[in-house]
Each structure stands twice: as C-alpha cells, then as structure tokens.
Amino acid sequence: MDRPDIAHAMARLRAAAPLVHNITNYVVMNSTANVLLAVGASPAMVHAAEEVEDFAALARALVVNIGTLSPSWLAAMEAAARAAGGAAGPGGRAPPGGGAA
C-alpha cells in the first residue's frame, strides 16, 4: 500500500466508525481502546461470558488477545468467536510476544 491507499483506507474506516468488540487482557485494554478511538473506531471491551455472544453479533469486528488466559475468559473468547464467525470482514492472528521468539 502506498500513502494514498492508506489515506483512503483510513477515511473509509473513519466514515464507517465500526463497533469493535475486544476481549483483551488488562495490560493492553486501555491502549487498545485508545488506538481504536484514534483511528475512528468505537471500541467496546466486553468479556463477560453472559454478554459476548449477543455483543459479537452487533460488532463489525472481534479482537481477541490471549496474553493472560483464564478458563472464564477462554469460554468468553470461544463464544464470541462462534457468534462472530458468520460476519464478513478481515481477520488475522498475532500471538502476544510472537515476534520475540
């Protein structure tokens, strides 16, 4: 991508103002929300197993960070991923510390 492509993509992102569902650890929760706000998205940090399926169906994207995994958060992540599975959109995987090895 060159600069005009990036500028166009950022303009489209800001215009869409997507709701982004995040299940991320406490270490990066605030930073993740601030970055999403800075690019024009609307972040929501929802990790309660009782809420994630309904919320994932409303969101335009799902971000899952497994940096500090616990059984209750794993259940929420799996439920959110199932609920978001039918949604169209980009996806990717970047394990925490993945570049450190």
Q: Is the per-residue pLDDT at 88 higher than 50?
A: no
What does pTM read for this prediction? 0.80
The pLDDT value recorded for residue 74 is 92
- pLDDT per residue as tens digits for the range 1-11: 899 999 999 99
CA pseudo-torsion sign 52, 40, 86, 96: negative
C-alpha span between 35 and 23 (Å, rounded): 15
For the chain, the structural domain boundaries read: 1-68
Q: Are 62 and 79 in contact (CB under 8 A)?
A: no
C-alpha span between 38 and 41 (Å, rounded): 7
Q: Mean pLDDT across the stretch 27-36?
A: 95
C-alpha span between 88 and 93 (Å, rounded): 16
Q: Is the per-residue pLDDT at 95 higher than 80?
A: no
